[in-house]
Amino acid sequence: MFQTNAFRLFLFGLIVAVVSCSSSKQNHSVYHKKPKKIILLIGDGMGVAQISTLFLEKDNTNNFKRFKHIGFINTRSGSHKITDSAAGATAFACGEKTYNNSVGMNMDSVAINNLIEVCSAMKYTTGLVSTSSITHATPASFFAHTKHRKFEFDIAKQLLKSDIDFFAGGGNDFFKEMRSDMKLYDWTIDTSSYQDWKSLVFDSNKKYGYLLAGQGLPTMEAGRGDFLPEASLAALNYLGNRKSFLMIEGSQIDWGGHANDYDYVFTEMEDFNKTVGVVMDYAEKDGNTLVIVTADHETGGLSLNAAPYKDKDGNIRQDYDKVSTSFNTGGHTAELIPVFAYGPGSHHFQGFYENNEIYNKILDLMK
Ligand code: MG
Ligand code: ZN
């Protein structure tokens, strides 16, 4: 009896060893493959609750379900338990935790190299797409260095001199006094609010900038339409088959959270989800593209609760089949933030780590 069981165990062990050995051989090359193109999507203010709204209301078209490699980041900044968007984006872009309001500067207000500067020196072509002003804290941290995020005229100047090759967003107000400089730095700038993104033809030797609003772009509720998915695809079209880094920001999930306006948050999440979808379609076809989706922090303390109701005796009870939404704050929260990754190198983004490690993980894959 004992011998039979031992023999069965031995056989089982042998089978497991053979199966895992052959599958690890199969995965070996995929596991060590490095991406040629890296796309970082940031949903500003997008925590687990914001993502959960898609599972509740958009389950069939929820593109977050397409990711297999998922991690969590701790987002606290160098100065505060709760980060702002400048310190949060600087952690991603420059690899250091810094004080709230800092754009591309360390705790001592010294400029630190960002991913765009480092990878441009390695012959990467780079782009930024954002639904806020392109000079706003999140995109700014990828090309500028200022002690405070509010210096948006200075940030605009720095953008023109930066290594960025393509950008699309709002912020025209901050560039108005520099029209002649734009030509000086060889930019092709377009400020017409309507773009037929699909028909644009790009010269890969030129730098393109789209400034489509004075400051932030309109909300989805006010008719922004498909700017984010379409401008992101146009950026991918421009970057083509070159080594590239593209940052795409859904900026206004955060603004909906600050306004404690659920419909604002949800419509911005729908737009971001759609953008994740077109980027994933691209990456799946391409095979050499790493997609990373994360957020700088959560905004609003959004919670999805069992809806309260009064029973026949007048007692407050909860209906577990009905979800009501509420916000706990007009500011940001300290919640852990999920990281979703797809493509070559995506397994590096699993586990629990600090927000600034995103920088090192991306850089290691670029080297
Ligand atoms: Mg932002
Ligand atoms: Zn915010």
- Between residues 10 and 300, the one the model is more confident about: 300
| Tens of pLDDT, residues 218-268 | 999 999 999 999 999 999 999 999 999 999 999 999 999 999 999 999 999
Query: Where residue 21 falls among pLDDT bands split at 50, 70, 90?
Result: very low
Predicted pLDDT at 177: 83
365 alpha carbon to ligand 1 midpoint, in Å?
25
Q: In angstroms, what is the span from residue 299 Cα to ligand 1's centroid? A: 11
pLDDT on residue 275: 98
Contact by Cβ (8 Å): 207, 237 = no
The predicted pLDDT at position 128 comes to 98
How many A from CA of 258 to the centre of ligand 2?
6
Mean pLDDT over the full length of the chain: 93
Ligand 1 centre and the CA of 248: distance in Å? 10
The residues, any chain, with a CB within 8 Å of residue 241's CB and separated by 6 or more, are 36
pLDDT in tens, 45-92: 999 999 999 999 988 899 999 999 999 999 999 999 999 999 999 999
Residues with CB under 5 A from ligand 2 (ion): 254, 299
What's the 45 CA to ligand 1 centre distance in angstroms? 8
How much distance in Å is there from the Cα of 57 to the middle of ligand 2? 24
pLDDT in tens, 279-328: 999 999 999 999 999 999 999 999 999 999 999 999 999 999 999 999 99
State the distance from the centre of ligand 1 to the C-alpha of 230, rounded, in angstroms: 19
Rounded to a whole number, what is the distance in angstroms from the first to the last CA of the chain? 57
Instruction: Give percent of the chain with pLDDT exceeding 70.
Output: 92
Q: Per-residue pLDDT averaged across 125-131, rounded?
A: 98
Check pLDDT > 80 for residue 26.
Answer: no
Distance 76 CA to ligand 1 centre (A): 16
- Whole-Å CA distances, 134 to 149, 240, 325, 354: 12, 22, 31, 26
CA of 186 to the centre of ligand 2 (A): 33
CA gap 101, 114 in Å, rounded:
16
For 157-196, how does the pLDDT look when each residue is reduced to its tens digit (9 = 90+)?
A: 999 999 999 999 999 999 988 877 777 678 999 999 889 9
Nearest ligand by distance to the CA of 132:
1
Nearest to 160 by CA among 147, 144, 173, 149: 144
The ligand that comes nearest to the alpha carbon of residue 43 is 1
Residue 14 predicted with pLDDT over 70: no
Residue 1: its pLDDT value, please? Answer: 46
Question: What is the band of 32 on the pLDDT scale with cuts at 50, 70, 90?
Answer: confident
Question: Which string of b and e fits 278-301 if b means at least 16 CB within 10 Å?
Answer: bbbebbeeeeebbbbbbbbbbbbb
DSSP assignment string, 182-234: HHHTTEEEE--S---GGG----TTSEEEEE-SSSSPPPTTTT-TTHHHHHHHH
Q: Which tens digit of pLDDT belongs to each residue from 195-205?
A: 999 999 999 99
What's the confidence (pLDDT) of residue 59?
A: 80
Q: Is the pLDDT of residue 39 over 50?
A: yes
Domain ranges for the chain: 37-366
* pLDDT at residue number 15: 54
pLDDT of res. 180 = 73
pLDDT at 25 > cutoff 60: no
Class of domain 37-366: alpha beta
Q: Which bound ligand lies closest to the C-alpha atom of 216? A: 1
**What pLDDT, on the 0 to 100 scale, is given for residue 363?**
98
Q: Ligand 1 center to residue 286 CA distance, Å?
A: 28
Q: 45 alpha carbon to ligand 2 midpoint, in Å?
A: 6
Looking at the CA of 252, name the nearest ligand: 1
